[in-house]
Amino acid sequence: MNCCPYLTECQYFNDQIDKVQRVGATFKSNQLERIQALAKTYRLEFCASKANFCARHMLANEIGIKNVPNDLQPSHVLRAKEMIEKLRSTATPQ
Ligand code: SF4
């Protein structure tokens, strides 16, 4: 798979990097850099090739990336599937 189509709009990893920067004062400088680099690497690798396994991607396909809750992590696949099932079961048939 190519890059996730939601890569530019999805805030998840940007938010994580921002959070680390905000609390960065509590880290030693090399720890902060390491965590930021890890988040960026993870974003590039995960979002570039494994988006189909991402809970946020699954839910975004149903409701749009802007409507995906900020606290839904890429690994929350079970939660995403439950939300999708609920949405589909309450959707009005056309
Ligand atoms: S793979 Fe998931 S976390 Fe990455 S950009 Fe797509 S929706 Fe966001």
Q: Is residue 5 part of a domain?
A: no
Alpha helices in the chain (DSSP H): 12-22, 29-49, 55-63, 77-90
> For 70-89, what is each residue's pLDDT tens digit?
888 888 999 999 999 999 99
Q: Is residue 4 part of a domain?
A: no
Tokens 């990097």: give the residue. Answer: 17
Say if residue 41's pLDDT is above 80.
no
Say if residue 26's pLDDT is above 70.
no
Closest residue by Cα to residue 17 from 46, 43, 56:
43
Q: Is residue 2 part of a domain?
A: no
Say if residue 44's pLDDT is above 80.
no
Task: List the residue whose alpha carbon is closest to atom 7 of ligand 1.
Answer: 57
Q: Is residue 65 part of a domain?
A: yes
> Tokens for 2?
């190519």
Q: How many domains does the chain have?
A: 1
Q: According to the model, what pLDDT value does residue 31 have?
A: 73
Q: Is residue 3 part of a domain?
A: no
Q: Is residue 42 part of a domain?
A: yes
Q: Residue 48: which residues within 8 A CB-CB, separation 6 or more? A: 2, 3, 4
**Residue 74, domain extent:** 12-90
Q: What is the mean pLDDT of the chain?
A: 82
Q: Is residue 27 part of a domain?
A: yes
Q: Is residue 1 part of a domain?
A: no
Identify the residues whose C-beta falls under 6 Å from ligand 1: 4, 6-7, 10, 12, 46-47, 51, 54, 56-57, 60, 74
